[in-house]
Structure 1
Amino acid sequence: MNQQPTPNFSQRAWRFMSEGIWEIELSSLSRLKRLGINFVRVVLLVVKGFQDNECPLHAASLTYSSLMAIVPILTLALAILRGLGAGEWAEQRIIQSIAAMPDQFQDFVVNLFTYVKNTNFATLGGIGLVLLLWIVVHVLSCVEMSFNRVWGVNLHRRLLRKFSDYLSIVMVVPILMVAATTINATLSNPELIQLLQERFGYAHFFYSWFLSFLPLLATWAAFIFLYKLMPNTRVLAMPAIVSGVIGGSLWVGWQWFYIELQIGISRYNAIYGTLASVPIFLFWLYISWWIILLGAEIGFALQNYSTYKMEQKAHGASTQSRIMLALSIMSHAAQSMMINVPQFEINAFAHTHRVPVRMIHEVVDALVKANLLADVSDGEGRYVLLKVPDSIRVKDIINVMVQNGVTPRSLGLDMLNPAIRHVMGKMDAGSAEALKDFSIADLLQLHSRLNQAPLMNLPS
């Protein structure tokens, strides 16, 4: 018998990083070792998610979409700021904040503001205003779709919630980004610094340090707000904060690095001439979206790394696995209703039972489309049954999962062999006869008889 060759160091290291790291039982390890292993797991999950979710491709798509809509978005954002009496102030601060950028980049931004100033809402008319709003909503919908892809969410916001949430983003994020430079400029007043130096002596150095830190704080706040609000699912506070801090820091670092690249920027003038500002701005915009999506992956990894061992296998889950998960979800939702806790939270279910969250979203989406569950939180992950447990047949849930996707008729499979339809009909009739009127309520009663315990402990 031929012996398998002994794996070399690189092969053993690769196997450990891809499989072994997820098989380690953490309960017996020290706190420091658990922290180190969880850190490695998060990093691996971010790298794999960034590749599997095609984030560089989405960054390119968002670069194009945002470039097409940058004038409408700026027009709407500055119009809101003008209504608050801060339009001119915001424009001046943005121009001041890019003073260190390449000349071509500054020219591009100045031209953008010129176009924005020439946009007159009165002359646009009703149709023009609706078109402008549609462009803004469309671009932000593209951003939401990219974030939802990262989080494994298939359902999108309702139209009314899109307007409310997107309006918040258009208002809050630009204000936070501009506020940093404004506060910095205000607190950098020479007279104020001299006064502090006279009053506190060498302690004013702490003030100077805090002053230099303000732009980063405002950037962190903007990224945290974006990562918390944009995905159409519940993002916990800590993953949003950590991913916002990391993403915001990378973005600020990218601005610094981009400024340092000015030496090579002059080469574009010889190639593109007066159009040199376009590729320069596109390059900056693409890397910015690249960083934003990387931060979204970090947030997902931090919130779901504990279930990733199963997440790796979720894409190849069998129909039987999906049926079992669907029945379990419906049973827990029914029990929530029976003990007067009408809302069933899928994120809590995922972490309690260590079930892949992306697989849960797929199954729940199918149940929502079948009118068995309803989202009562519009993306926050809380659902209720649309029927009483007695009227929900187990066979109906099985049919939803078996028939989820493209039908055989649409694929032309029902034309292959008439005998196949006969066999499939007998199989369906057999399962229907075996289950008859067996409902979710009956399933809960059966569970109680077999285990003498409720499915889960829920607060009353």
Structure 2
Amino acid sequence: MLPESGMKGSTLRLFRVTKIMLLSVRGFVDDLCLLRSSALTLYSLLSIVPVFALLFGVAKGFGFEQMLKERILEQMQQQDTVALQLLNFAENMLASTKGGVVAGIGVVVLFWTVIKVIGNIEESFNAIWRIKHSRPLSRKLSDYLALMFLAPILLIISSSITVFLKTQITWLMTMIRLPETGVWVVLKMLGLSPLVIMSALFTFLFVFIPNHKINLKAAGVAGVVTGILYQTLQWAYLSLQIGASSYNAIYGSFAALPLFIISLQMGWMIVLFGCEMCFYLQNYASYRNHKKFSELSFLLQKTIALQAMRLLALRFINKKPPLTTADIARELAVPIACVQPVITRLRQSQLIVEVKTDEGEGARFQPALDTGQLSVALVIKALERQGQNDLPETSGIESSLQIVEKIEAEIDAAYGRHLICDQIGE
């Protein structure tokens, strides 16, 4: 019996919140998120100047380059020294891409760098979501470049709204005649505007980046938690910077650089943890007992494999859409942790094939063989023979091998004509 079965109300909600947090922490470790955050930190350092240059190029085309610069400095006020250097490098890079063949190559490299860095972020998110295929190149070009063109505009709009409200709040409160308590509440809410903006940004990333259909509610909750953690990191960074006079003695004018790299690494760790949380919020029912069923006996694997093959074969015969692993688990009323290794084994045994779809809902599967030839014996034989079957010298196991082959022959005689589509057990 599951621990949740006897719980109700707030106790159940508290248990689920705790369980999701623990699953997220475990997923963070199992998915090597610490290593992935280090890789993303390196990619970010190598590509941050081209990304800024492209943002400024877009902003310049719309005539708000200076406004974007002010907003970036405002968002990076804890790293103002590094921000000024980055902006200077970005302007120099943008200036070098004007005119000539060399400049044309520079523009191509600029766009390729931006696509590459977002692609690396997508790969990390896809790994967390157990997605094996990234967007095709055509979609990467359209989606990523659209993101880069919209990013500066959205940044300006969100920051401008906040600035407008902060500057006009007194006039607005006078017009609507708010009491002192109301004024205090409004001012406190405005103070939370950076948190709201960051939470919205993370929610958007959790929905947009993975090559998968993401539940908006799960992304929203994960976005808010990630936003709170990120704002806490910014506060800690500011506190550390104030007391980091020893860094000035060691690094001199480069004192801001090691702190910036540390904050960047921590930032990616928080983002990947938020992605883990989003995954488990959306897939809690499937993964809540993942570890408990992670190593099934071969007997149970064969049992689930037969049922899964029958389900897929019947859907194929009835011309219904192929199913994902999660769909199969739901149809069989079996935890997805039990189904995943079975589906992997069926693929390796060449009993099922993956069907590619453009819906971003994960891999779907259908039978790889004629359903009129898919017998129970064939499925069991294929599963048992998956892998290496030949040894250079078998004299030491010859007697046991003959027994196994006799058992296999008896299964074939009993179930060789029993098609998988028939009711198993008839």
Q: TM-score, normalised by structure 2?
A: 0.81
Which of 16, 24, 29 in structure 2 is aligned with 1:46?
24
Query: Which amino acid counterpart does residue 232 of structure 2 have in structure 1?
Result: G
Query: Which amino acid counterpart does residue 39 of structure 1 have in structure 2?
Result: V
Determine the C-alpha separation between the residues in 2 that align with 1:365 and 1:237.
Answer: 33
Shift of 1:105: 3.2
Residue-by-residue CA offset, 1:186-216 (whole Å, 9 max, x unaligned): 2233xx3343233122357254344333332
Specify the SS of the correspondent of 2:177.
helix
- Residue 323 of structure 2 is matched in structure 1 by 344
Specify the SS of the correspondent of 2:358.
coil
Residue-by-residue CA offset, 1:139-171 (whole Å, 9 max, x unaligned): 223222322332233333322233334335444
RMSD, matched Cα: 3.9
Determine the C-alpha separation between the residues in 1 that align with 2:346 and 2:155.
Answer: 39
Determine the C-alpha separation between the residues in 2 that align with 1:200 and 1:161.
Answer: 48
The answer to whether the aligner puts 1:141 opposite 2:119 as a matched pair is: yes
- Residue 180 of structure 1 is matched in structure 2 by 158
- Residue 154 of structure 1 is matched in structure 2 by 132
- Residue 32 of structure 1 is matched in structure 2 by 10
Which of 169, 180, 183 in structure 2 is aligned with 1:193?
169
The answer to whether the aligner puts 1:355 opposite 2:306 as a matched pair is: no
- Assess if the C-alpha contact under 8 Å between 1:152 and 1:361 holds in 2: no
Matches within 5 A, 1:238-253: 238-253=217-232
Specify the SS of the correspondent of 2:355.
strand
> What 5-or-longer segments of structure 1 have no aligned partner?
1-22, 451-460
Residue-by-residue CA offset, 1:207-262 (whole Å, 9 max, x unaligned): 43443333322222211111123233333222211111111221122222222222
The answer to whether the aligner puts 1:76 opposite 2:57 as a matched pair is: no
- Residue 366 of structure 2 is matched in structure 1 by 385
- Residue 111 of structure 1 is matched in structure 2 by 88
- Assess if the C-alpha contact under 8 Å between 1:366 and 1:401 holds in 2: yes
Identical aligned pairs, as a percentage? 26
Shift of 1:98: 2.5
Specify the SS of the correspondent of 2:343.
helix
> What 5-or-longer segments of structure 2 have no aligned partner?
none
Determine the C-alpha separation between the residues in 1 that align with 2:207 and 2:25.
Answer: 21
Determine the C-alpha separation between the residues in 2 that align with 1:227 and 1:432.
Answer: 52
Matches within 5 A, 1:20-419: 24-99=2-77, 101-120=78-97, 122-123=99-100, 124=102, 127-172=105-150, 175-189=153-167, 192-202=168-178, 205=183, 206-308=185-287, 310-313=289-292, 315-317=294-296, 322=301, 324-351=303-330, 353-356=333-336, 360=340, 363=343, 367=347, 372-377=353-358, 379-381=360-362, 383=364, 385=366, 390=371, 393=374, 408=388, 414-415=391-392, 417-419=393-395
Task: Decide whether aligned partners of structure 1 residues 259 and 387 sit closer, same or farther in structure 2, where only a CA change above 3 A counts.
Answer: same
Residue-by-residue CA offset, 1:286-313 (whole Å, 9 max, x unaligned): 0100100111111122223333354114
Specify the SS of the correspondent of 2:321.
coil
Determine the C-alpha separation between the residues in 1 that align with 2:195 and 2:42.
Answer: 27
- Residue 453 of structure 1 is matched in structure 2 by none
Residue-by-residue CA offset, 1:319-346 (whole Å, 9 max, x unaligned): 6655554544443333334445324243
Specify the SS of the correspondent of 1:188.
helix
Counting matched residue pairs gives 418
Specify the SS of the correspondent of 1:377.
coil
- Assess if the C-alpha contact under 8 Å between 1:60 and 1:286 holds in 2: yes
Determine the C-alpha separation between the residues in 2 that align with 1:214 and 1:369.
Answer: 54
Determine the C-alpha separation between the residues in 2 that align with 1:253 and 1:440.
Answer: 65
Determine the C-alpha separation between the residues in 2 that align with 1:309 and 1:85.
Answer: 51
Query: Which amino acid counterpart does residue 171 of structure 2 have in structure 1?
Result: L
